[in-house]
Structure 1
Amino acid sequence: MTQASEAAFNAIVVFDIDGVVRDVSGSYRRALADTVEHFTQGAYRPSSEDMDALKSEGIWNNDWEASQELIRRYSQTQGQNELDCTYEEIVAFFQGRYRGPDPNYLTGYICQEPLLMSAAYIEQLSQANIGWGFFSGATRISATYVLQARMGLKSPLLVAMEDAPGKPDPTGLLQTVEHWENQGSATATTPVFYVGDTVADMQTIAKAQQIQPDRAWLAVGILPPHVQTTSERREAYATTLKQAGAIAVFEQVEQLTPDTIRQLIGSQ
């Protein structure tokens, strides 16, 4: 899978991974719920709505930190101001469920994630001279597994957890765009899309706009599968993303076609 490079890109589209490229409702979110339940001694297992409410605050993109925060909030309701566990213990338990007990082999929930994006879709973007890349809060091992082993992309441009601060800090997004500028495939005015499924993702674009105000930065929201169970929940989640800055919200990432990308640029 290669990028076209004969001329400057018409646009650059950078994708989040979780909830956009893969369905993590039965993996990351399940591991988060398992972790909170374990460290509250089985007293509290957060619902999908509980997790969405936390993430709507815009600062809990990291699921390890989100697990710790939900444990902390539950403990406070029980009159406890100190946690009985460390952050390292939370991460270790979470990873044991998500990746599996052996760190050298992926056998956990990660192996059960349905894909939401195809390599054929990425090829459509390349053929339309649209640059693409990925900026995710997932670990590099996890992100590489889905992009290369599952989707079959060859050396995709990826900024992962280890490479940049967590969202909504826009550093990773700026790094992705800078890569294409250094390759001569983008200019200082090439429009940039960031496609994500959380409030933090939408806020990332707003912060990038503050740093580079002369470029068109466009936030696109994707409804993750777990919120599409009812029309009420789907509409409420879409409203939340739009209030956070999304110029459009889609039920599935591949609805963001090259034609749609051109239309969204023209509408700005």
Structure 2
Amino acid sequence: MSIKAIAIFDIDGVIRDVGGSYRRALADTVEHFTQGRYRPSPTDIDQLKAEGSWNNDWEASQEFIYRYFEARGKAREAIALDFDAIVDFFQRRYRGPMLEDPAQWTGYITQEPLLVTPQYFEHLTEGDVAWGFFSGATRGSAKFILEQRLGLVEPLLIAMHDAPSKPDPTGFFQAAERLGGGADVPILYAGDTVADMQTVQRAKDQRPDGVWLGVGILPPHVVAAGAAYAAEYGDRLKAAGADMVVPQLTELTVTAITHLCEQA
């Protein structure tokens, strides 16, 4: 196949709606470790992630807890937090009991709405667009959604622990290279956070000979919040480097990808 472009996708907020799963587990975790005194709102979570440093929801949970107690006069070094305990609580909410077999998972992950169908990826292949995934999700969680829920057959996946966290572009580079990327093939990354777009910017900085494109995807909770908030969120993604912003991944068609690449 002659590749005209490579499309690499984030998963959370792009392939699956995590408003009632990852984000709910994050809020549950913060509420638990602040003894029920604080539960971050969806806007609170967006604002934290807009800083670009909190792609990992376990670390974001911990940061919210630290900031809650700091705002009440406690020094961070005096706040006794067990990161493993935070991860364990989060995962029990998100996955359910800590079983390795995805068939036995009972947590919020089982309720995640899908935002695309397998046909979307078939159309990309038919249009000579190679595709894969680069996500900060655990490999088990990512494979659960991609293979068991979407029915994709062993798609290319760079997940947590395969590469440093975004906005470090290492995982982006790994995915691009494994999909056959070269200096003459435009490579785009579609994600829903500031860190995702910063990943593309760092790729441009580190490998300026390549054609690296960022596509911002508005996550469902942002679209549901109304036009004004969606526009504000989209502006954040553009400020972080998005070359285009769309309200859902299905609008990133082969035609749209071709047009974006021609403009690059």
Give the TM-score, by structure 1 length. Answer: 0.94
Number of positions where the alignment pairs a residue of Structure 1 with one of Structure 2: 258
CA drift of 1:118 comes to 1.1
The letter of the residue matching 2:90 is: F
CA drift of 1:83 comes to 2.5
The letter of the residue matching 2:15 is: V
Question: Paired residue for 1:3?
Answer: none
CA drift of 1:188 comes to 2.5
Counterpart selection for 1:38 from 13, 32, 35? 32
Question: Paired residue for 1:174?
Answer: 173
Question: Paired residue for 2:43?
Answer: 49
Question: Paired residue for 1:98?
Answer: 94
CA drift of 1:211 comes to 1.7
Q: Deviations over 1:106-165 (max 9, x none)?
A: 110000000001110000000011000000000000000000000000000000002000
Aligned equivalents of 1:92, 1:102: Cα separation in 2: 8
1:151 aligns with 2:146: no
Alignment of 1:183-222 (within 5 A): 186-222=181-217
Q: Report runs of 4+ in structure 1 exceeding 4 Å deviation.
A: none
1:249 aligns with 2:248: no
Aligned equivalents of 1:201, 1:102: Cα separation in 2: 29
Alignment of 1:11-22 (within 5 A): 11-22=5-16
1:260 aligns with 2:253: no
Aligned equivalents of 1:85, 1:264: Cα separation in 2: 46
CA drift of 1:189 comes to 1.7
Question: Paired residue for 2:134?
Answer: 135
Question: Paired residue for 1:237?
Answer: 233
CA drift of 1:209 comes to 1.0
Aligned equivalents of 2:147, 2:105: Cα separation in 1: 14
Give the TM-score, by structure 2 length. Answer: 0.96
CA drift of 1:103 comes to 2.1
Question: Paired residue for 1:69?
Answer: 63
| Structure 1 range deviating more: 144-153 or 211-220 | 211-220
The letter of the residue matching 2:114 is: L
**Identity rate, percent:** 55
Q: Deviations over 1:31-87 (max 9, x none)?
A: 000000000000000011110000000000000000000000001112222323311
The letter of the residue matching 2:84 is: E
The letter of the residue matching 2:12 is: D
Aligned equivalents of 2:256, 2:152: Cα separation in 1: 23
Aligned equivalents of 1:20, 1:202: Cα separation in 2: 13
CA drift of 1:231 comes to 1.2
The letter of the residue matching 1:215 is: G
Aligned equivalents of 1:43, 1:102: Cα separation in 2: 27
CA drift of 1:170 comes to 0.3
Aligned equivalents of 1:265, 1:177: Cα separation in 2: 15
Q: Does structure 1 retain, via aligned residues, the 8 Å contact 2:169–2:202?
A: yes
Q: Deviations over 1:169-196 (max 9, x none)?
A: 0000000011123xxxx43321000000
The letter of the residue matching 2:246 is: F
CA drift of 1:27 comes to 0.2
Q: Does structure 1 retain, via aligned residues, the 8 Å contact 2:183–2:211?
A: no
Q: Does structure 1 retain, via aligned residues, the 8 Å contact 2:182–2:210?
A: no
CA drift of 1:262 comes to 0.7
Q: Deviations over 1:190-220 (max 9, x none)?
A: 1000000000000000111112111110000
CA drift of 1:237 comes to 0.3
**Where in structure 2 are there 5+ consecutive unaligned residues?**
none
Aligned equivalents of 2:156, 2:98: Cα separation in 1: 27
1:126 aligns with 2:120: no
Aligned equivalents of 1:43, 1:167: Cα separation in 2: 30
**Where in structure 1 are there 5+ consecutive unaligned residues?**
1-5
Aligned equivalents of 1:139, 1:263: Cα separation in 2: 33
Task: Determine helix, strand or coil for the equivalent of 2:196.
Answer: helix
